[in-house]
Amino acid sequence: MNVKLIGEHKKDSRACRDGLALTLNEMMAEDKSICYVDCDLMGCINTKQLMKNYPDRAFEAGIAEANGAGVAAGLAATGKKVFYHSFGTFSSRRCYDQIYMSAAYAGLSVRVLGSDAGVTAAFNGGTHMPLEDAAMYLSIPETTVLDPADYDQLASITRQLVNVEGVSYTRFVRKGIIQVYGEGSEFEIGKGVVLHESDKDVATIITSGIMVDESLKAYEALQAEGINVRVIDMFTWKPLDEELVIKAAKETGAIVTAENHNVTCGLGSVVANCLAKNCPTIQEFVGVQDLFGQVGPQDYLMDVYGLRAANIVEAVKKAVARK
Amino acid sequence: MNEKNVKVLAAEIRLETLKVIHSRGFGHVGGSMDLADLMAVLYGEVMKFDPKNPRWEDRDWLVLSKGHAGPVAYATFGLMGFYPMEEAYTLNQPGTKFPSHTDRKLTPGVDLTTGSLGQGVSTATGAALGNKIDGRDNHVFCVIGDGEADEGQVWEGFHFAYAHKLDNIIYFIDNNGYQLDGPTDDILAHGSLAKKAEAFGLYTQEIDGHDVTAIYNAIQNAYAKKGVPSCIVLDTCKGKGATFAEPKHDHSSQPNEEQWAEAIAAAEKALADVKNA
């Protein structure tokens, strides 16, 4: 890992999807076995360039996600390293049985990409808002589940995905979002990133995706009140960096998870599972509280669903008070 | 094509399919037995394969999208030398390599995992695409049940194969007229499967699925057709050659030992008859 934390809460001028598309373009130039299958959403994540540059290896499956997932698995059976994309709602719910049986159960590696993670689906609304996508992939054996925070983290993950065996699911944001990390930052799938820590920490915030920036803001607000907390970017939800979670729980005694996903079956749940088995610890869950998505600007949705630094601050104080 | 040899192989496949299922006592007899003639043509005359190297890159692929027909594949692969035939008599036993539905991780000769119906169409299509990318001179043979064709995914797969001009795949539809709950016409009538496949842009033929020469010729016709995928609708009799299953077109059978003995004896006699013909 080579992580440069910026954490200035400034919006990145680069669209997050390009962290994926440009990286894939470079990878396909180097490795002729990489194939790309999309379900009529190339235009949304700037991957039409792949079909232009590699017409024999980048394909449209059309608006038929189930078949597209099966085609991806079939390509994998012939030795191809396959990436498969649709919106997060459709690359989970519309092709779940196909990814489960044709790919995962069959031992074939498919790298599933789900765009518009959680409330970032914004103006496409509740029908297109994946708040359970990661849950579905978490429950398939031997999968890797990822929720990157920004452009550079997505690019770094994408470069590694090609070597990840089995089914992986990466939920990501299409548009320009807050830049958390400096250009060229490198991450290791399966390893959480400690963004702040001290020997005075009274709680740990474990987070990922768009909630990393909110967690950093919460850290600053708590610091101003004299409350020290640890902050961990746990962009790999599965396999979970259990060692880091257990260490944080033992050293700080309280955990707050913050996720852009339904809290009943997401990052908070996998952390809770780990803690219950290893060192039962007080935990508070920031995230979507078992609700459906809805239409609206992302800022509005983050307010409505309680995905703000203020919600994390409140959760930290509640967790500490429960000690 | 040596018609007699293929007919002998078909009779051997039927006998061994019965023995494989009998080893467990129950299973999908009907939908396995009706494919024996197709399997005999494919493995006796048409397909390139290497039993010692089942994942040989230039092989032809078989995908039983109707994965419940596993026993007919296990019988065929055993006869072709992928493993000693006796190994397949462990069907569905604990730790077996021979589950009800075909599994690429377990059984030598199985190219893709199937069971959840419709999915083999897409994976077979993806494999055909992968083979085409690599310029391999081979074909993918995908076997679909007529009941299975209720699944929309079957038609999504055809659509994709047509759009991508995959002329290295042949879809067979095992048109035996029955599915689990009864005749396909009563459950969810298809109308003409051949006309529907044709409307999806596939070069489509409909033939007697128990006529080995007709099957062989239809495959040669498909090979000659460039730029489009092929579909061969096989009109078959579910349970063909299993004395207890054929009259009722059983989906899955649980015959008693007396019925098993009768069926195996009849299959042995059928084999002897075709050898002596």
CA angle, residues B215, B218, B222, in degrees to nearest 5: 140
CATH value at residue A113: 3.40.50.970
Neighbours of B53 (CB within 10 A): 10
| B139 pLDDT tier (thresholds 50, 70, 90) | very high
Res. B250: pLDDT tops 80: no
Q: pLDDT per residue over B90-135, tens digit each?
A: 999 999 999 999 999 999 999 999 999 999 999 999 999 999 999 9
| B252 pLDDT tier (thresholds 50, 70, 90) | low
Does some domain include residue A184? no
Does some domain include residue A2? no
Q: pLDDT per residue over B181-207, tens digit each?
A: 999 999 999 999 999 999 999 999 999
| A237 pLDDT tier (thresholds 50, 70, 90) | very high
Res. B261: pLDDT tops 80: yes
Given a contact cutoff of 8 angstroms between Cβ atoms, the answer to whether A248 and A232 are in contact is: yes
- B184 close to A (CB below 8 A): no
Q: pLDDT per residue over B214-229, tens digit each?
A: 999 999 999 999 999 9
Predicted ipTM of the assembly = 0.96
Contact B123 A79 (CB under 8 A): no
Structural domain span for residue A244: 193-317
Does some domain include residue A27? yes
CA distance B204 to chain A (A): 21
Which amino acid, B21? Answer: I
Span A255-265, average pLDDT: 98
Same domain, A220 and A165: no
Q: Please tell me the total number of residues recorded for chain B in this structure.
A: 277
Same domain, A237 and A99: no
Same domain, A103 and A239: no
Q: pLDDT per residue over A151-183, tens digit each?
A: 999 999 999 999 999 999 999 999 989 999 999
Question: Which positions 53-82 of B are in contact with A (Cβ < 8 Å)?
Answer: 57
- B130 close to A (CB below 8 A): yes
Domains detected in chain B: 3-276 (3.40.50.970)
Does some domain include residue A116? yes
Does some domain include residue A272? yes
B59: closest chain A residue by CA: A78
Q: Most B CBs within 10 Å: which of A28, A67, A82, as the mutation test of the B interface?
A: A67
Res. A270: pLDDT tops 70: yes
Res. A249: pLDDT tops 90: yes
- A93 close to B (CB below 8 A): no
Same domain, A137 and A28: yes
Counted domains in chain A = 2
Contacts by residues A22-27 (CB-CB < 8 Å, ≥ 24 positions apart): A22/A155, A23/A154, A23/A155, A23/A158, A23/A159, A24/A50, A24/A83, A24/A158, A25/A49, A25/A50, A25/A53, A27/A158, A27/A159, A27/A162
Same domain, A157 and A214: no
Give the residue from A114, A137, A172 where a domain finishes: A172
Task: Tell me the C-alpha distance between A190 and A178, whole Å.
Answer: 23
Same domain, A113 and A231: no
